[in-house]
Amino acid sequence: MHWYVDVLKKYAVFGGRARRQEYWMFTLFSVIVSIVLAIIDAVIGSSILGIIYSLAVLLPSLGVAIRRLHDTDRSGWWLFIALVPLIGAIVLIVFLASEGKRGPNEYGPDPKTADAF
């Protein structure tokens, strides 16, 4: 749960780096919340809860994805590759799932070593 809250605390932080675990745990929790809200929306016959939640986590989702790309030593502009049908989404998932660069890079210190201190 703290991975989700930590990302929300960095609501619109697009600089720095994010570990794989931070990104994927946030994504997992966000998907679970979306499924629960979709069920509630279906029961009440509305879609307002899902829309509000999607808008609320839009900037944190973009922020953590950009920080994740920074950890792999790629620019945040690589998010736009997802606009290419099918191939773009696959390439982006590979980038987001790959291990981050060891040691500091142009986007900041290694978050794995920063957690150790």
Q: What pLDDT digit, counting tens, does each position of 47-87 carry?
A: 999 999 999 999 999 999 999 999 999 999 999 999 999 99
What's the total number of domains in the chain? 1
Give the closest residue to 63 by CA, choosing from 105, 7, 109.
7
What average pLDDT score do residues 103-111 get? 89
- Cα angle for residues 90, 113, 30 (degrees, 5° grid): 40
| Prediction pTM value | 0.89
Give the closest residue to 5 by CA, choosing from 30, 35, 31, 37.
30
Band of pLDDT at residue 116, cut at 50, 70 and 90? very low
Full residue range of the structural domain in which residue 85 is found: 2-116
